[in-house]
Each structure stands twice: as C-alpha cells, then as structure tokens.
Amino acid sequence: MLHVLGHKRSACDGVTRRELLRAGSLALLGGASLPQASFGTPSAGRAKAVILIDLFGGPSHIDTFDLKPDAPSEIRGEFKPIATSLPGVQICEYLPLLARMMHKLCTIRTVSHGYNSHNPYAVMTGFTGGSDREDYYAKPSNHPSMGSVCQHFRIGRRSDLPGYVVLPAYPGYSQGLRRAGPYGGYLGSQYDPMFSTCDPKFAREVNPDRDFYDHTLRPMGDPMLPKLTGDMTINALDERRTLVEQLDGEARRLDSFRGMSVRRRQAFDILLSPTARVPDRTPGEPLALRDRYGRNLFGSSALLARRLVEAGVTFVTIHTESKGNGHWDTHNNNFDMLRMDTKETGGKDRNI
C-alpha cells in the first residue's frame, strides 16, 4: 500500500493530495527508457558550484526591489526605500545587507512565465513554454533541472559526494505531492538530486488553515541528510545493504526502477564518505555566524548548502517551502510576513 503523506491543506494554487493520485507518473518512480538529450559540449566557466534559492511563492516586487515611493498611497506599500551601493538604485529598508552588496548583484526585470501557481518548474529547469496542467507534477518526460544537467556533464563531480542536493525537502512535500522541477526528467532518474528531509517545529501547535499567514510561527529545525559521518558499523551497513537487496528483487520486475542500481551505488558512497560530514558547527566557525544564518529551517538550509559546496558538492537548491507559514505566499498579512521581527536581532540588522 502506498501512503501519500502530508496535511490536506491546499496552497493558493488549490492542489491537494487527492489530486496527486490522478496526476499520473511521479519522478519518484521515474527512470524508464526515455530519449536522451542532445546537448552540445559545455564551454569552460569559472563557477565551481551553484546555490540556487527557489522561493515558494515570492515576495512582492513593489515591496522589495521596485518600491514606488512617489506613487499614490493606495498603490505604494508601507516600506520605505534606501540607497544602495549601486548609484541610482534603491531597495527596501529591510534589506540593508543586500543594499551594501548591490554593486555586485544584477537585478533582472524581464523574466516572467505563465505558471500561475507555486510551480518551481520554470525556475529549476529554465523551461517556460509549458502550462500548469502539463508541467505541474513531476514525470519522467519533464525537462531536466539545471542541477541534473550539471550532473549529466559531470561538471565538478566528485566520486565520494552527491553532485546535486535539494534542501530541506522535495518541492511539494508539505502537501504530500511532488511538484515538477528538480528532477532529471528525460535524462533519467540517475540525475535526480539527493533530497534531505525535514520535520519543522513551531512554538505551538499549528493549524494549517488558520495559521497559514501567522508571521510569528517560524518553522524551526534542520534539514536532515542521510547519515554522512562515515562511522557506521559494519553490521549496520550490512543490514542496510540487505534491505536494499530485498527491494532490488522486487524492483527488477519494474522497468521504471532501472535507475535503482545507480541510486544504490550513490547511497553507499554517501554512507561511507567521511568528507561529507556536516556537524552543527565546523572547526573555527564562530557561534555568532551560526546565529546570523538563523536557527530556523531556512537559515539551517542555507548554512548546510554553504558547507556542502565547501565539501565539494556542485549544485545545491534550497526550496523555501515549509509546513506552517514557512513560505512566501503573502496573499494575507503581507507586510508582517515580509517584515522580520527586529526583537530577534536587537534591532541591529533587519532583513526580510
């Protein structure tokens, strides 16, 4: 029996777990025989790794990077603009650190797509020619994610580490569905990322309907990768290997599990890799830096992404979806959702 997990509350795009059961193939069961991509030879570049931050929803552009202070009161928002290190460019007052680095950034104002939902497909694949109905759920015929393409070409790939990781969980996990975007698609399931899992905690019990826009309920916790310390006992490893072999016996009957052998090899590489260990604090790293990232789910994901890149992982995606209010879906309570409570930082540093 296959149990689809997650609460039944829908996001603003209205998708529930029940609709997942009518959606067809999932990337979880992907890897069937599919046409291979015909890409040209990639040119050499200077970038060694990528951390892609994908927002579940998105902060209002007129309250962040495109404030309109001279507009009528019914158009402009509550936030005020501040000057940045790039002459003539102003951004929101609650983004002072970004304001200092603006001369190193590029604001692109011409990107759009036709996905009217929390669909990360366009962001993760660069493909915008489809539609929600066609591209909402992950399926083997999807376009591959950018991280998957990097793995296809083995760009910067190390044999003892996964090349592509998604934090803190797969897109759609909080609703019990798998949204399209981060997978290998028609390149094959062997190019799917390693996903961490998470179990966010809150200061009180969360009602998924009533508390969806309660800005005071921050998801706390850490993304959890498979055991990476390399200190697993031989007996424990043998037990896991035995379990995998049992699953392999059934998987061989299904063409859709042809990528299992690749995943199995990657899993044991990860289990035995001492270089992949990510403790709560690395040697020489001040506790203040850990606090600066934020001891919430997103802050922990961002810090883990940095450490994975430092360890040699090529491509890390942080998807900001979370159970509770850990999202950018600000249809209600917009300004409180965007405004960080300055009590957390003593008013010294404020960022949305």
pLDDT tens digits along 116-130: 788 889 889 988 888
Instruction: Name 298's Cβ contacts closer than 8 Å, sequence gap at least 6.
Output: 219, 318, 320, 322, 326
Per-residue model confidence as pLDDT tens digits over 70-104: 899 888 889 999 999 999 999 999 999 999 999 99
Nearest to 206 by CA among 198, 214, 197, 195: 214
pLDDT: which is higher, 230 or 46: 46
Crossing angle between the packed helical segments 234-251 and 260-271, to the nearest 10 degrees: 170
Taking a C-beta distance cutoff of 8 angstroms, is the pair 189, 27 a contact? Answer: yes
Instruction: Name 314's Cβ contacts closer than 8 Å, sequence gap at least 6.
Output: 48, 49, 50, 147, 150, 151, 155, 156, 157, 163, 164
pLDDT: which is higher, 100 or 287: 100
Token pair in block for residue 17: 């777990």
CB neighbours of residue 252 within 10 Å:
12
Nearest to 307 by CA among 220, 192, 197, 225: 225
Which phi-psi region, left, alpha or beta, contains residue 205 (left: φ > 0; alpha: ψ -120 to 50)?
beta
Give pTM, 2 decimals: 0.72
Alpha-carbon span 252 to 257, nearest angstrom:
7
pLDDT, average across residues 210-223: 83
pLDDT, average across residues 330-336: 84
146 to 87, 110, 125, 231: CA distances (angstroms): 33, 20, 5, 33
For position 347, what pLDDT does the model report? 40
Alpha-carbon span 299 to 292, nearest angstrom:
8
Q: Is the pLDDT of residue 210 over 90?
A: no
Cα angle 212-182-252, degrees, rounded to a multiple of 5: 115
Given strand 164-167, what is the order of strands in its sheet? 50-54, 315-319, 164-167, 194-195
Taking a C-beta distance cutoff of 8 angstroms, is the pair 42, 34 a contact? Answer: no
Per-residue model confidence as pLDDT tens digits over 147-190: 999 999 887 666 667 889 999 999 998 888 899 999 999 999 99
